[in-house]
Structure 1
Amino acid sequence: MRALRETNAKDYTAEIIARIERSFDPDAVRRLIGQRTVFVATIGSRLVGTASLDRSAVRTVFVAPDVQARGIGKLLMAEIERTARERNISSLTVPSSVTAESFYARLGFNTVRDSYYGDERTIIMERVLIDRS
């Protein structure tokens, strides 16, 4: 969870980051893998990124800090979108961290609302894929 600590430290307190890290212990990750479509990015044999699709929600998008800004997150999101379109999902939502809001905005996601868990701010964003009008 080094990526979470290093990337989000400017926007979230250490307490919030620790709480989020605890929700991704090995048992929780195994359960999530069984419930979601999970994508991973590797460089050689090293796992450097992950993203998942939970119905129409984008979840657990992480890229190792030392390889961020190389297009890995964008490639993972392209796979999420491709899979969603294959499944005829009309729109994607993502509960974005404050840190990642501009990343998702560059990919065409729009802010819907803020959500709070205590003092942890999450930005709910959406991207329409299929115009059903």
Structure 2
Amino acid sequence: MDCLIRIATREDAIAISRVVIGALRETNARDYMPAIIEQVEQSFSPQAILRLLTQRQVYVATIDDHIVATASLDQDVVRSVFVNPSHQGQGIGQQVMAMIQSAAVSGGVKLLRVPSSITAEGFYASLGFKKVRDEFHGAERTIIMEMGLEQ
């Protein structure tokens, strides 16, 4: 599916929050208990998104001017990759990740890392990321993955 990928703006904060929370509740909820989903949601309120916009390179994917996905790059770490559940499986996540990888290469990153959810581990593996280790934050399991980048 063709989508436009661009840098996020402050005006996108509410729509980004909706995409993330929708994906958490519908997709990630298959792998995480409700208490963990609720805890993670707190990091993606519109106000939290506004803060992230000042700290990371945040991208959005749009279809017909509607935000359907988001991802961000925090130096050499991929963060907050979410696709609206109704648009998952259509290649949008791959397109957003291609933009993230391009931005990382442009920034001189040689090793790209991602703290993956259980839900997204297969997605990142399909892109060439390799599992390094598991991390636990309370009951929340995160899979640390990495991939070398060609300069």
| TM-score with structure 2 setting the length | 0.85
Q: Quote the Cα distance in structure 1 between the aligned partners of 2:144 and 2:55.
A: 21
Q: Quote the Cα distance in structure 2 between the aligned partners of 1:119 and 1:40.
A: 30
Q: In the alignment, does 2:67 pair up with 1:60? A: no
Shift of 1:130: 3.7
Shift of 1:79: 0.3
- Structure 1 counterpart SS, 2:142: strand
Q: Which residue of 2 aligns with 1:78?
A: 98
CA deviation map 1:84-112 (0-9, x unaligned)? 11111001100000000000000000000
Shift of 1:122: 0.3
The alignment's C-alpha RMSD in Å is 1.0
Structure 1 alignment gaps of length 5 or more:
none
Letter in 1 for 2:43: S
- Structure 2 counterpart SS, 1:108: coil
Structure 2 alignment gaps of length 5 or more:
1-20
Listed as ranges, the matches of 1:34-53 within 5 Å are: 34-53=54-73
Could you tell me whether the CA contact under 8 Å between 1:89 and 1:130 is conserved in 2? no
Match of 2:137 among 117, 129, 133: 117
Q: In the alignment, does 2:45 pair up with 1:25? A: yes
Q: Which residue of 2 aligns with 1:102?
A: 122
Could you tell me whether the CA contact under 8 Å between 1:49 and 1:61 is conserved in 2? yes
Match of 1:15 among 32, 35, 42: 35
Q: Quote the Cα distance in structure 2 between the aligned partners of 1:114 and 1:124.
A: 6
CA deviation map 1:3-52 (0-9, x unaligned)? 11100111100000000001111221101011111110011021000000
Higher relative helix content: 2
